[in-house]
Amino acid sequence: MEKILSVSIASYNVEKFIRKALDSCCVPEIMDRLEVLVVNDGSTDSTLEIAREYEEKYPQTFRVIDKKNGGYGSTVNASIKAATGKYFRLLDGDDWFDRDGLVNFIEELTAAEEDMIVAQFKRVFEEDGHEELRDEAEDIKEKVVHFDSLGAHEWFTMHAISYRTKILQDNNIRLTEHCFYTDQEYDLLPLPWVDTVRIFPQVVYCYRIGRGEQSVSPEGLEKHYNDQTVVLKRLYTVYPDVGKQKTARDKYIFNYFILRTFLQIKVFLVISKSNRHRQELIQFIGYLKREQPLIYKELVRTSKILKILLVTRYAAYGILHKKLREEYRY
């Protein structure tokens, strides 16, 4: 039977979590239409052995790709190349699918023809188990919309997005390797070829929050904050005229850049306080002023934090760091 959905599972040292991810794909009524690509990214624990168990038990559904460590982007690149499903989506090795939602999702995709599918997801917090529903399309009333009608709609994220696999393969979509935060490239790089969007009003993805090893944890930010700058600068290069064209698509991408760039400024104020980090923050804002003037001007207009930094000539760095560090929640 034709594979309807290919799932790329990035797997690096997730032996404690990956069984839950893989078990969430083991739903008998859909497994003949589901392709699960478990990409072992050079794990040094038993992640690969666990993945092989599922491949041996369910060879019609699970396929293991074993490779040297290349970072998150490399796992997505390997999966895009290998995928045979009609649609493609991501699942991190420490997250999982809502089983009922996944069944209904594949039923929906079987008849779908749209370029992008946007589903609900939920954030599940490790500390106390509480959950938060995320519906990034809650203000969209139609079932199917043209992407160009979204305008300044707040951007969709990888936990919500599936693409037609053909778009990714035919247009050689590749994420940056040996780099964190490349899910943002997944959010944006395929957009020139997305014309239609289908809204799926159920939870599919369950996003685990609270692991210290996660890239969005304070510890992860401390280690990898510069990778966010690398990703942003690549995306700025891909869309050099963003903010100038005044089309609905341009507004969507510009909105994404404003929010992500603002978050990166906040990251510099959340990681440990030091003269080096202060100088890197000043350099990043200087880069924006020189190379991305439209983004810079919009942030000056809308960001109270940036205004305070500029007005005080960064003397408020310490005060803002203390405040944002205390308030940070991921």
* Domain locations along the chain: 5-209, 218-327
The neighbour count for residue 231, using CB atoms within 10 Å, is: 23
- The segments of the chain whose pLDDT lies below 50 read none
Overall fold of domain 5-209: Spore Coat Polysaccharide Biosynthesis Protein SpsA; Chain A (3.90.550)
Q: What is the pLDDT of residue 64?
A: 98
Euclidean distance between CA atoms 5 and 33, whole angstroms: 7
pTM of the predicted model as reported, rounded to 2 decimal places: 0.93
Dihedral sign, CA of 147, 205, 256, 164? negative
Q: What is the pLDDT of residue 326?
A: 86
Q: What is the pLDDT of residue 6?
A: 98
* Residues 81-135 pLDDT 10s: 999 999 999 999 999 999 999 999 999 999 999 999 999 999 998 877 789 999 9
Q: What is the pLDDT of residue 211?
A: 62
Q: What is the pLDDT of residue 330?
A: 55
Q: Which helix (H) or strand (E) holds 209?
A: strand 196-209
Three-class SS of residue 161?
A: strand
DSSP secondary structure string for all residues of 215-259: TTSHHHHHHHHHHHHHHHHHHHHHSTTTTTS-SHHHHHHHHHHHH
Three-class SS of residue 7?
A: strand
Q: What is the pLDDT of residue 221?
A: 81
